[in-house]
């Protein structure tokens, strides 16, 4: 599952998402579920029962649908911007809605931003991963200066990003196989 963690109008995530999906289509046998949080429109978590006790069943049907969708995925790539040295609130909220669906699955990041390229957002999210038992990989992609990172045709201006994404998927696949034994 590729999770687009930005909901802003004019978001840079659209270019990142389009590029990532194009590269992922080139990987034989890979099925990709795009979860765009802008379309999913999860409310901020306000349920009376915490996710670790809810078993994926919530009063809000959007929360229940999200938990089911996450549970069906085998691995995750999270697209995250960096806002104020951290991840987007909507991405953190999407993680907070689920517990068991994340458990014992690998996750990687494509982060982006200014000079720090979203690395501080990733570091914060890795702390959240530990609690929901997601396994972060180390081979993440960090795209600096996002507004200049893609040309007019949506291709990255930085060399090697396509290969880096294929490596990220290989690492996710390898870890997913190990975790599912």
pLDDT of 181 higher than 90: no
What is the pTM (predicted TM-score) of this model?
Answer: 0.96
Question: Nearest Cα to 2, choosing from 139, 18, 163?
Answer: 18
Give the single-character DSSP code of 78. Answer: E
pLDDT (average), residues 89-111: 97
| CA gap 20, 14 in Å, rounded | 10
pLDDT (average), residues 145-170: 96
Q: Is 105 exposed, middle or buried (0-12, 13-18, 19+ CB in 10 A)?
A: buried
Question: Nearest Cα to 41, choosing from 55, 58, 60?
Answer: 60
Q: Give the domains, in start order, of the chain with CATH numbers.
A: 2-179 (3.40.50.360)
Residue 17, pLDDT score? 98
Give the single-character DSSP code of 155. Answer: -
């Amino acid at each position: 599952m590729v999770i687009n963690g930005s909901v802003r109008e004019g978001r840079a995530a659209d270019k990142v998402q389009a590029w990532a999906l194009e590269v992922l289509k080139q990987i034989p046998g890979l099925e990709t579920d795009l979860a765009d949080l802008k379309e999913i429109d999860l409310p901020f978590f306000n349920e009376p029962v915490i996710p670790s006790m809810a078993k994926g069943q919530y009063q809000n049907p959007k929360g229940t649908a999200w938990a089911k969708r996450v549970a069906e995925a085998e691995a995750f790539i999270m697209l995250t911007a960096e806002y104020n040295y951290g991840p987007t609130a909507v991405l953190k909220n999407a993680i907070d809605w689920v517990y068991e669906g994340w458990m014992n699955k690998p996750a990687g990041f494509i982060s982006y931003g200014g000079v720090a390229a979203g690395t501080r957002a990733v570091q914060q999210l890795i702390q959240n991963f530990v609690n929901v038992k997601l396994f972060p990989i180390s081979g993440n992609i960090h795209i600096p200066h996002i507004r200049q990172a893609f040309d007019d045709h949506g291709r990255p201006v930085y060399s090697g990003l396509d290969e880096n994404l294929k490596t990220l998927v290989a690492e996710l696949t390898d870890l997913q196989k190990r975790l599912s034994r």
